[in-house]
Amino acid sequence: METQTTLEHRMLNDMLGAFGEGHTTVVSAEQGILLLEGWINALQGDIGAERILDELRQLRDQIKSDHCDNDKVRHLLLSLASHTSAISHEPRVDPATADQLKQLVNILRNFSSQL
C-alpha cells in the first residue's frame, strides 16, 4: 500500500507540474496520454476507483483517437474534477494532499473550458 500511495502522490505532483495553474496550459497529446497512463497504473487495484479508472481510460482513448470528441473530453474532465473534489474532502486525506487535490480540480475545470 505504501508504494501505491507514493505512486499516487508522484502522479499528483507530475500533474500539478505539467499543468501549472491550468489557465493557458499547452500539453501535447503525447504528454496527456503519458499522464493518463500513469494515473491508470497508480490507481490500478484501488478499491472504489473503478469508475475513475474507466473515465481515465475513456479520456486516454479519446485523446489517442483520430476523431477526438471535444464535448466528450470536456465531460470526462469535468467528471474527473467532480470525483477529485469529493476525494479531497475525505477524512483520510491529509491537509497538504487535500490542497493539491483542490488545485487539480481547478486545473481540470480550467483545462476543460479551453476545449
Residue-by-residue pLDDT tens, the chain, 115 positions: 344 557 888 899 888 888 775 555 677 889 989 999 999 999 998 888 899 999 999 999 999 999 999 999 999 999 999 999 999 999 999 999 999 999 999 999 988 998 8
Residue 2: the pLDDT is 43
Residue 3 confidence (pLDDT): 46
Model pTM? 0.87
| Per-position DSSP letters for the chain, written without gaps between them | -HHHHHHHHHHHHHHHHHHTTSSS----HHHHHHHHHHHHHHHTT-TT-HHHHHHHHHHHHHHHSTT--HHHHHHHHHHHHHHHHHHHTSTTS-HHHHHHHHHHHHHHHHHHHT-
